[in-house]
Amino acid sequence: MDRSRLHQISDVEWELPPTGDMNVPVVLYADAPLLDAMDDEVLAQAANVARLPGIVRASFALPDAHWGYGFPIGGVAAFDAEMGGVISAGGVGFDISCGVRTLLTGLTKAEILQRQAELADALAAAIPAGLGQHGALVLDDDGLDAMLEGGAAWAVAEGYGEPSDLPRIEHGGRAAGADPACVSAKAKQRQRREMGTLGSGNHYLEVQEVADVLDAAAAEGFGLVPGEVVVTIHCGSRGLGHQIGTDFLRLMTLEAEAAGWRLPDRELAAARINSPLGQRYLVAMRAGINCALANRQIVAHLARGVFADLFPAARLPLLFDVSHNTCHAELHDVEDARRMLFVHRKGATRALGPGHPDLCEELRAHGQPVLIGGSMGTESWVLAGTAASAAKAFGSAVHGAGRSLSRRQAVKRWTSREVVDALAARGILVRCRSWRGIVEEAPGAYKDVRVVVDAAHRAGLARKVARLRPLVCIKG
């Protein structure tokens, strides 16, 4: 990225002042090397977001930002409905509520290594992963609607997990105000047999060792013990979320054209929050969020079953479940006033600070766990929200490393055998139904997650708690 247009605020904060029809500045959180490695399209997309009506404070790009659809991935923007603010399907993304949950095991790395291959095979057999894979659960129309309205709370009521899981999921495991009637029949049909599945791309289940602890007090509060093992699940709303995004992007584009509304980019198709279309998308998107929350709840239940068979004494309590790709109505302080804003996080994670009332009592003292997924074979991280994070980017932090190479570029650079052998040499077992998928998600296709996490830590978006190292990776 060309830095000549940017004003440097600190070593990890940069600003593009508003020009022309930009309503607010663009603020980028990254150090100079990360910024230099970003494509110029990130700045162009963030500037286009700054042109949308009703945007508040700034259009933000986080350290893992890269080119996306409409919004940059790693983009955050908040809109005020009372100022004519908009909601954008492109600002949420196609994989609505794609997110990460981490389960504690209490098992040591040594215990896992004794049965590592057996565990990898059992997890791969129990949890469907990959494009077009179906789960054992098939939902009828009533079941689909109940799931879309109830989220993880519905899944728990159906026997997938424990009530104690729910306080450790964003919004108690259910996005209130979802309306399944606003989700198309095609979207529902795509999800009928996909509950409890991982999907493809960068989605995974990993067994990980707690390799390092950087904040002893927070790690103890989170239940993270050096040398012990956790299970991390990364997946989303599968075909349903993608179809909701597709349906509403088309509707938003058509309505904007009919109204003569000139969009800065067709991919930024949006609707006024208070318009009928904006409200329909909002309640459909909430149904997509509930789908993802229920999906991760079921996948976690399947993983718990595998561990119960191989390690009968193990219990897998939930540390936390956090979503990316959402838009939530949240109260924030802006210009000395408390305002209800609709915060879009596209490839970004909510990061509530210590004492926040939305956190359960066990976590409140330390701030929200922020789960940063690595790319197959690279480390992952647990961070915590900071007291300053709300003033930085509406309480948002990075969600991963961010791609540095496209999937097509990765396929040209490596072979699947090279990737699998290199991981095996480091003690990491991979199980994947797609050889191409392994290459597309090669560790080298992503930015250095340590550099991204370090920039987020230095910027005050979230603080480092623990580093996780993979032992087993189940991919689609």
Tens digit of each residue's pLDDT (9 = 90 or more) over 348-362: 999 999 999 999 999
Q: Is the pLDDT of residue 265 over 90?
A: no
Q: What CA–CA distances, in Å, run from 84 to 5, 235, 257?
A: 29, 33, 18
CATH number reported for the structural domain that contains residue 116 in this entry = 3.90.1860.10
Q: What CA–CA distances, in Å, run from 377 to 426, 431, 443, 446, 469?
A: 9, 12, 6, 11, 8
Looking at per-residue pLDDT, the higher value among 106 and 134 belongs to: 106
Q: What pLDDT, on the 0 to 100 scale, is given for residue 137?
A: 87
Q: What pLDDT, on the 0 to 100 scale, is given for residue 408?
A: 83
For residues 147 and 158, give the distance between their C-alpha atoms in angstroms, rounded to a whole number: 10
Q: What pLDDT, on the 0 to 100 scale, is given for residue 55?
A: 97
Beta strands in 214-366 (DSSP E): 228-235, 270-272, 318-323, 326-334, 337-346, 349-350
Domains held by the chain: number? 1
Secondary structure of residue 170 in the 3-state scheme = helix
Question: Per residue in 198-234, pLDDT tens?
Answer: 877 788 999 999 999 999 999 999 999 999 999 999 9
Question: Per residue in 294-304, pLDDT tens?
Answer: 999 999 999 99
Q: By the 8 A CB rule, do 230 and 103 touch? A: yes
Domain span including residue 128: 3-475
Q: What pLDDT, on the 0 to 100 scale, is given for residue 257?
A: 85
User: Catalytic pick from 234, 324, 356, 399?
Assistant: 399
Out of 186-190, 213-217, 425-429, 456-460, pick the least confident: 425-429
399 is catalytic: yes
Q: What pLDDT, on the 0 to 100 scale, is given for residue 131?
A: 62
Q: By the 8 A CB rule, do 379 and 356 touch? A: no
Beta strands in 299-404 (DSSP E): 318-323, 326-334, 337-346, 349-350, 369-372, 380-385, 396-397
pTM score of the predicted model: 0.95
